[in-house]
Structure 1
């Protein structure tokens, strides 16, 4: 299953179990209507009751509104890349579908304004994580959701129109059509008259998936937090007019200039890429935030272990997001066997050793390894070019075991070329 499909599934969990409570019914109503923000207060009260289903609703609504708020901020400031809407840009989706048009009259954007946008997004992700962890305790609820019916107000006009759905963002269902309906024929099967079998695109979410979402929130949060730990104003001034072309950034009026080698547009584009590389030299301005990124990364592996503990304890088989070896995978091309689970657990162990500085990251130039833990806890500057070329890595080199192919032997053997898809799926 390709990364874009998994990202789509990751974005939206909704609630409507076979016997839905009030929180589940309200959650579905708000998500399908594109009014997630309006449901936060009621979901919060349900979670305080406490009601695990209400906590799941709160986590999901906060997760959706975090994404929706970021998409609206990007639209407000005119973010665009060729053929990719701000929303798709955030999800890493670019499937050739028509983009949401960029804002023709964007507001001016400052470096401080962009930091505020990212900080607000990060705060919302952390609030979602808190609710998801509360929803991840022992409990018996299943929330059935069709992600393609979820509406999101991408441009902030106050309404989620026909084109502002997850399904419209993804385009065609593509490989999602491989998901078999519970009572239908197998994938690729036909009904009478060779008509396509009815497609069931719902997914059943339970307390194990709440833990999965808590981990996924940190997968998204970690790189944002890493950036915010630094001063990236030089990069903002030199390059981000390419992302926000009409928001008054310093180089906005010079996206097309004189001709140097090929043509004005190509030459300035190349120049801006060079400027971007040159300014990938960020002073650390918040050492506690940088150290906190390491804590986030370690929480991802811890939550993944907790997620699998809950998955393996399940006795039902209700259209699982991530199935146990005894359950049915909705993605036939990616079976989950005990061997796959064991390989994933071994991978988590290896990643933890890297994050703890017990296993070092190889550097092409040195016999010693790069200590990730030392970087997060002691760095005062992140100069990506100098780290990759060598001298910037010197403060973090040490003697010790270095990760190699053997360190991930089980994952390589069991998951093979599909390892990235499994990693994205399992997070």
Structure 2
């Protein structure tokens, strides 16, 4: 389990460095951090394939770092929900900024700006880095603090005793994996920004302030007060419902669809390339003849089963398979049509049918068969390996 957790976290946090320069780059990151190293590499007039991949990886890492910095500055340091970039607990901020209703929107825009800099590479390379050299400048003081190291940040997800993390060698196949993951996260950013929560956050925070003028509010009996701005579960639930009732931005949902389709295509490219590999050198995600540098036992055929899951994802995005709808047997929701021409997600309308009707049609329905086969092969760890594989 010790080595499995880094793999899952690095499914959202990855980087590599050229073999001839691996130690120098690792030391540069350890000493100076992500942003300064990225700045230096980005200024190179003609980056080598190794440097180009390092730039991609650093943009990816920077996407994570800017969200950490935004959360720390705002005091949103707990695990604040299921949204991307909000899952890791952070050190407490001594002087958080006043509540800003645009906090979430600004966070996802900043992350997406970095993610969209990641581009596929086709030139052969092999790059190695020590995972213990990775750190995130959470408090933006340009100094590495003990709690900012990668191993410390992932500690809540593993009960294993502390120890050194491995070095990993990335290659041409992994460039496709990295680009696929960037498309996945950028697509999720688009979906969140399509239903921009700023207006709902403003409304809920202003209402809570007015209510507090009438007297102390009864704390949420389940979760108590939660960040940001002391919003508790009731407030956050209201934000979600009000946000989903907004008229979405169709340009954002169309962009999300395009990103997710690219994610599927790049995943296929990754598995084609990794399955053709004949070496076995500190592998990131191994083929059936390789072993993982992270100590993860990847079952034979896992890649092929995962591609079947992605086939269903693509079929849903293209409207060739439908999401089952509870009131009509054999009819389902066309997700692709919804992303092309989105609508508010008012819950009564989707349950009763008036909101679902424009997207309902008869056709083949997606099932859990592919995911169940993937889960059976991985002995119940499908969701964990899905994070690892992307």
Scaled to the shorter chain, the TM-score interval is 0.7 to 0.9
Q: Does 1:303 align with 2:266?
A: yes
2:316 to 347, 354, 376: 354
Residue equivalent to 1:139 = 124
Residue equivalent to 2:140 = 156
- Provide closer, same or farther for how the CA distance between residues 254 and 202 of structure 1 changes in structure 2, counting only shifts above 3 A: farther
Counterparts of 2:17 and 2:156, CA distance in 1: 24
Counterparts of 1:172 and 1:123, CA distance in 2: 28
Counterparts of 1:166 and 1:146, CA distance in 2: 11
- Provide closer, same or farther for how the CA distance between residues 42 and 273 of structure 1 changes in structure 2, counting only shifts above 3 A: closer
Residue equivalent to 1:122 = 112
Q: Aligned with 1:382: secondary structure?
A: coil
Q: Does 1:30 align with 2:28?
A: yes
Q: Aligned with 1:398: secondary structure?
A: strand
Q: How far apart are 1:295 and its partner, in Å?
A: 0.7
Deviation string 1:157-204 (CA, Å, 9 cap, x unpaired) is 332212211111122784778xxxxxxxxxxxxxxxxxx9x8552222
Q: Does 1:223 align with 2:188?
A: yes
Q: Does 1:375 align with 2:338?
A: yes
TM-score normalised over the length of structure 2: 0.84
Counterparts of 2:378 and 2:220, CA distance in 1: 46
- Asked whether the equivalents of residues 4 and 93 of structure 1 are also in contact (C-alpha less than 8 Å), the reply is no
Q: How far apart are 1:115 and its partner, in Å?
A: 2.8
Residue equivalent to 1:6 = 7
Counterparts of 2:111 and 2:274, CA distance in 1: 29
What's the RMSD between the two structures over aligned residues? 3.4
- Provide closer, same or farther for how the CA distance between residues 107 and 398 of structure 1 changes in structure 2, counting only shifts above 3 A: same
Residue equivalent to 2:155 = 171
- Asked whether the equivalents of residues 329 and 336 of structure 1 are also in contact (C-alpha less than 8 Å), the reply is no
Counterparts of 2:77 and 2:39, CA distance in 1: 33
- Asked whether the equivalents of residues 77 and 103 of structure 1 are also in contact (C-alpha less than 8 Å), the reply is no
1:201 to 125, 141, 166: 166
- List runs of 5+ in structure 2 lacking aligned partners: 226-230
Q: Does 1:39 align with 2:1?
A: no
Deviation string 1:54-85 (CA, Å, 9 cap, x unpaired) is 1011112222222212211222222243xx48
- Provide closer, same or farther for how the CA distance between residues 219 and 385 of structure 1 changes in structure 2, counting only shifts above 3 A: farther
Counterparts of 1:406 and 1:288, CA distance in 2: 32
- Provide closer, same or farther for how the CA distance between residues 407 and 400 of structure 1 changes in structure 2, counting only shifts above 3 A: farther
2:87 to 71, 76, 92: 92
Residue equivalent to 1:421 = 384
- List runs of 5+ in structure 1 lacking aligned partners: 178-195, 242-248
Which one has more relative contact order, counting CA pairs under 8 Å at least 6 apart? 2
Deviation string 1:74-112 (CA, Å, 9 cap, x unpaired) is 22222243xx489x9826246xxxx4013424145243x
Deviation string 1:8-54 (CA, Å, 9 cap, x unpaired) is 2234434345433xxx45532332124221122431244x5241111
- Asked whether the equivalents of residues 322 and 364 of structure 2 are also in contact (C-alpha less than 8 Å), the reply is yes
Larger deviation, residues 255-264 vs 383-392: 255-264
Q: Does 1:60 align with 2:75?
A: no
Counterparts of 2:74 and 2:220, CA distance in 1: 32
- Asked whether the equivalents of residues 343 and 410 of structure 1 are also in contact (C-alpha less than 8 Å), the reply is yes
Q: Aligned with 2:381: secondary structure?
A: helix
- Provide closer, same or farther for how the CA distance between residues 71 and 265 of structure 1 changes in structure 2, counting only shifts above 3 A: closer
Counterparts of 1:207 and 1:262, CA distance in 2: 52
- Asked whether the equivalents of residues 34 and 153 of structure 1 are also in contact (C-alpha less than 8 Å), the reply is no
1:257 to 216, 221, 244: 216
Q: How far apart are 1:397 and its partner, in Å?
A: 0.7
Deviation string 1:278-325 (CA, Å, 9 cap, x unpaired) is 414343353122111111111111110111112112221111110011
TM-score normalised over the length of structure 1: 0.77
- Asked whether the equivalents of residues 7 and 91 of structure 1 are also in contact (C-alpha less than 8 Å), the reply is no
- Provide closer, same or farther for how the CA distance between residues 303 and 80 of structure 1 changes in structure 2, counting only shifts above 3 A: same
Aligned length: 380
Q: Which runs of structure 2 are paired with 1:213-362 in the superposition (5 Å)? A: 213-238=178-203, 251=208, 257-259=216-218, 269=232, 271-330=234-293, 334-337=297-300, 339-362=301-324
1:51 to 48, 58, 82: 48
- Asked whether the equivalents of residues 319 and 330 of structure 1 are also in contact (C-alpha less than 8 Å), the reply is yes
- Asked whether the equivalents of residues 150 and 166 of structure 1 are also in contact (C-alpha less than 8 Å), the reply is yes
Q: Does 1:77 align with 2:74?
A: yes
